[in-house]
Structure 1
Amino acid sequence: MAIYESEHTKFMREWMEAHPEEREEQRKGRALWWDKPQELATQKAQRESTVAQKAYPYQSEV
Protein backbone atom coordinates (compact mmCIF):
# COMPACT_ATOMS: atom_id res chain seq x y z
CA MET A 1 0.00 0.00 0.00
CA ALA A 2 1.45 3.35 -1.04
CA ILE A 3 1.54 6.31 1.31
CA TYR A 4 -0.43 9.28 0.01
CA GLU A 5 1.50 12.44 -0.78
CA SER A 6 -0.35 15.56 -1.90
CA GLU A 7 0.55 17.49 -5.02
CA HIS A 8 1.51 20.46 -2.86
CA THR A 9 3.89 18.35 -0.78
CA LYS A 10 5.53 16.97 -3.92
CA PHE A 11 5.86 20.44 -5.40
CA MET A 12 7.38 21.90 -2.21
CA ARG A 13 9.85 19.04 -1.81
CA GLU A 14 11.00 19.36 -5.42
CA TRP A 15 11.12 23.16 -5.22
CA MET A 16 13.24 23.10 -2.05
CA GLU A 17 15.64 20.64 -3.69
CA ALA A 18 15.96 22.99 -6.67
CA HIS A 19 16.37 26.10 -4.45
CA PRO A 20 18.52 25.12 -1.43
CA GLU A 21 19.18 28.79 -0.60
CA GLU A 22 15.57 29.09 0.54
CA ARG A 23 16.31 26.95 3.62
CA GLU A 24 17.92 29.98 5.29
CA GLU A 25 14.92 32.17 4.45
CA GLN A 26 12.65 29.49 5.88
CA ARG A 27 14.68 29.48 9.12
CA LYS A 28 14.53 33.28 9.36
CA GLY A 29 10.76 33.29 8.89
CA ARG A 30 10.26 30.58 11.48
CA ALA A 31 12.48 32.42 13.97
CA LEU A 32 10.52 35.62 13.35
CA TRP A 33 7.14 34.11 14.21
CA TRP A 34 7.59 30.85 16.13
CA ASP A 35 10.96 30.12 17.72
CA LYS A 36 10.87 32.53 20.64
CA PRO A 37 12.57 32.06 24.01
CA GLN A 38 10.07 31.15 26.70
CA GLU A 39 10.00 32.89 30.07
CA LEU A 40 8.71 30.58 32.77
CA ALA A 41 7.68 33.42 35.09
CA THR A 42 5.52 34.97 32.37
CA GLN A 43 3.90 31.63 31.57
CA LYS A 44 3.16 31.03 35.25
CA ALA A 45 1.61 34.51 35.65
CA GLN A 46 -0.60 33.95 32.60
CA ARG A 47 -1.80 30.58 33.89
CA GLU A 48 -2.58 32.02 37.32
CA SER A 49 -4.45 35.02 35.91
CA THR A 50 -6.99 32.99 33.93
CA VAL A 51 -10.60 33.03 35.09
CA ALA A 52 -12.46 29.73 35.35
CA GLN A 53 -15.05 29.32 32.60
CA LYS A 54 -18.54 27.96 33.08
CA ALA A 55 -19.32 24.69 31.36
CA TYR A 56 -21.74 26.42 29.01
CA PRO A 57 -21.10 30.19 28.99
CA TYR A 58 -24.26 31.10 27.05
CA GLN A 59 -26.67 29.63 29.59
CA SER A 60 -28.60 32.34 31.44
CA GLU A 61 -28.66 32.48 35.25
CA VAL A 62 -32.03 30.98 36.24
Structure 2
Amino acid sequence: MRVHPIAAATIFLLVVVGAKLFFLSGLIAAADVGATRSVSVDLSEMHHKLKNLPVEKIHDMTFVFSNGD
Protein backbone atom coordinates (compact mmCIF):
# COMPACT_ATOMS: atom_id res chain seq x y z
CA MET A 1 0.00 0.00 0.00
CA ARG A 2 3.04 2.30 -0.06
CA VAL A 3 2.89 2.53 -3.83
CA HIS A 4 0.29 5.32 -3.88
CA PRO A 5 2.33 7.97 -1.99
CA ILE A 6 5.44 7.18 -4.05
CA ALA A 7 3.49 7.40 -7.30
CA ALA A 8 1.86 10.65 -6.19
CA ALA A 9 5.23 12.17 -5.30
CA THR A 10 6.71 11.09 -8.64
CA ILE A 11 3.79 12.53 -10.58
CA PHE A 12 4.00 15.76 -8.57
CA LEU A 13 7.72 16.13 -9.32
CA LEU A 14 7.14 15.49 -13.03
CA VAL A 15 4.38 18.11 -13.14
CA VAL A 16 6.56 20.67 -11.32
CA VAL A 17 9.55 20.08 -13.63
CA GLY A 18 7.32 20.22 -16.71
CA ALA A 19 5.71 23.47 -15.58
CA LYS A 20 9.11 24.98 -14.83
CA LEU A 21 10.39 24.05 -18.29
CA PHE A 22 7.22 25.36 -19.94
CA PHE A 23 7.26 28.75 -18.24
CA LEU A 24 11.02 29.35 -18.27
CA SER A 25 11.67 28.23 -21.86
CA GLY A 26 10.37 31.55 -23.18
CA LEU A 27 12.70 33.51 -20.92
CA ILE A 28 15.69 31.40 -21.94
CA ALA A 29 14.87 31.76 -25.64
CA ALA A 30 14.49 35.53 -25.28
CA ALA A 31 17.86 35.75 -23.51
CA ASP A 32 19.55 33.71 -26.26
CA VAL A 33 18.24 35.97 -29.03
CA GLY A 34 19.64 39.10 -27.42
CA ALA A 35 23.03 37.52 -26.76
CA THR A 36 23.62 36.33 -30.32
CA ARG A 37 22.97 39.72 -31.89
CA SER A 38 25.51 41.64 -29.81
CA VAL A 39 28.51 39.30 -30.20
CA SER A 40 31.00 40.18 -32.92
CA VAL A 41 34.52 38.76 -33.19
CA ASP A 42 37.16 39.72 -35.74
CA LEU A 43 39.12 36.49 -36.15
CA SER A 44 41.77 37.94 -38.46
CA GLU A 45 42.66 40.61 -35.90
CA MET A 46 42.77 38.02 -33.11
CA HIS A 47 45.04 35.76 -35.18
CA HIS A 48 47.35 38.69 -35.96
CA LYS A 49 47.65 39.58 -32.27
CA LEU A 50 48.45 35.98 -31.32
CA LYS A 51 51.27 35.77 -33.87
CA ASN A 52 52.98 38.93 -32.59
CA LEU A 53 53.17 38.17 -28.87
CA PRO A 54 56.34 39.23 -27.05
CA VAL A 55 58.67 36.41 -26.03
CA GLU A 56 60.29 36.35 -22.62
CA LYS A 57 63.26 34.09 -22.02
CA ILE A 58 63.21 32.30 -18.69
CA HIS A 59 65.72 30.10 -16.92
CA ASP A 60 63.56 27.15 -15.92
CA MET A 61 65.17 24.89 -13.32
CA THR A 62 62.14 22.71 -12.67
CA PHE A 63 63.70 19.33 -13.49
CA VAL A 64 67.32 19.86 -12.45
CA PHE A 65 68.56 17.15 -10.09
CA SER A 66 71.74 17.27 -8.05
CA ASN A 67 74.37 14.58 -8.47
CA GLY A 68 75.28 13.05 -5.08
CA ASP A 69 74.46 15.85 -2.68
Larger gyration radius, structure 1 or structure 2: 2
Higher helix share: 2
Q: TM-score, normalised by structure 2?
A: 0.35
